[in-house]
Amino acid sequence: MYPASFDYQKADSVDQAIAALAANPDLKLIAGGHSLLPAMKLRLAQPPALLDIWGIQEMKGIQRDGDWFVVGAMTTHAEVLRSDLPLFPEVAGWVGDPMVRNRGTIGGSLAHADPSADYPAAALALGVQFVIRGPDGERTVDADDMFVGMFESAVRSGELLTHIRIPATIQASAYEKFRHPASHYAVVGLAVARHADGTVRAAYTGAAERAHRLPALEAAVNGSQAIPTGLVDAGDLLGDRFASAEYRAHLVDVLAARAIERLG
Ligand SMILES: Cc1cc2nc3c(=O)[nH]c(=O)nc-3n(C[C@H](O)[C@H](O)[C@H](O)COP(=O)(O)OP(=O)(O)OC[C@H]3O[C@@H](n4cnc5c(N)ncnc54)[C@H](O)[C@@H]3O)c2cc1C
């Protein structure tokens, strides 16, 4: 399986990348390439030209800024796994295999918004902020507004996700996953986080066209009530030959109970 032919260029800075995107709207960003290249090899994607952002140093690494961690979008899953971030290291441990984790990036995964990716549930539970830059400057998008649809995030054409801001004040968190035995992606992944004010946020991925918060679980936990079953309606979920929508709804209930038990 070979991709269709394409032009290739590199950017060494965010400004350079934004200028290149403005000059050529056909350019497609490539970060770690671990979602884009498989799609190109299957000819599901045939971008005429790639803009390689692997060399942009200002988009790499993890820093502390008061009550926030600031994570460069080009930080790899392996670096996230070894970090002191809340929840994300546990989630990174579930992503693919060592080869995928050494090359794939946190920003690539979150901008790509694969409905079965692990990070989106964690981002929603943690209340992450996304820093996006484009020709009109920088804007910040809340996690609740980031995942718009299947493979569709709030990052627009001509823009880059440059950084992710993660609250450093999380008291406790957990991620539970039922993974697909072949692809290792999430059939369902469920993230919970207790924030500085004691309230719990919860979200799931894998079961629907995009990751979603879990209001029924949040209301029960924050109201000190028993966790009900039927947290999500199977009618709102996706099904396939491996797992029906009803089975995925059941998995949400099971993983929610496990995650909340771990939260303590
Ligand atoms: C065998 C295999 C197993 C995997 N298993 C899992 C798994 O279990 N769980 C999981 O969550 N993921 C899994 N993945 C996906 C992996 O996590 C990818 O690394 C990740 O989804 C994409 O990151 P990337 O840096 O490789 O992005 P790329 O493939 O380079 O890019 C993906 C998309 O995002 C865009 N993009 C990239 N960076 C930016 C940016 N900074 N700003 C704006 N747009 C950007 C690109 O234009 C492209 O459209 C797996 C991948 C493989 C190959």
Kindly give the distance from the C-alpha atom of residue 254 to the centroid of ligand 1, in angstroms, as a whole number: 28
How would residue 76 be classed by pLDDT, with cut points 50, 70 and 90? very high
Kindly give the distance from the C-alpha atom of residue 249 to the centroid of ligand 1, in angstroms, as a whole number: 26
Residues 6 or more apart whose CB falls under 8 angstroms from that of 90 comprise 173, 174, 175
Tokens 């059941």 correspond to what residue?
A: 250
Residues with CB under 6 A from ligand 1: 28-36, 38, 73, 95-96, 100, 104-105, 107-109, 111-112, 114, 117-119, 155, 160-161, 184-185
Residue 49 and residue 55 in contact, taking contact as beta carbons nearer than 8 Å: no
Q: Which domains does the chain have, with CATH numbers?
A: 7-52 (3.30.43.10), 62-167 (3.30.465.10), 172-263 (3.30.390.50)
d(CA 204, CA 253): 11
Number of C-beta neighbours around residue 233 at 10 A: 10
- Chain segment 232-257, per-residue pLDDT in tens: 999 999 999 999 999 999 999 999 99
Number of C-beta neighbours around residue 199 at 10 A: 11
d(CA 46, CA 113): 19
- Chain segment 196-209, per-residue pLDDT in tens: 999 999 999 999 99
**Tell me, what's the pLDDT at 264?**
82
The structure's pTM equals: 0.97
Give, rounded to a whole angstrom, the gap between the first and last alpha carbons of the chain.
48
Arithmetic mean of pLDDT, 139-152? 98
pLDDT of residue 1 exceeding 90: no
pLDDT of residue 83 exceeding 90: yes
pLDDT > 90: percent of the chain: 99
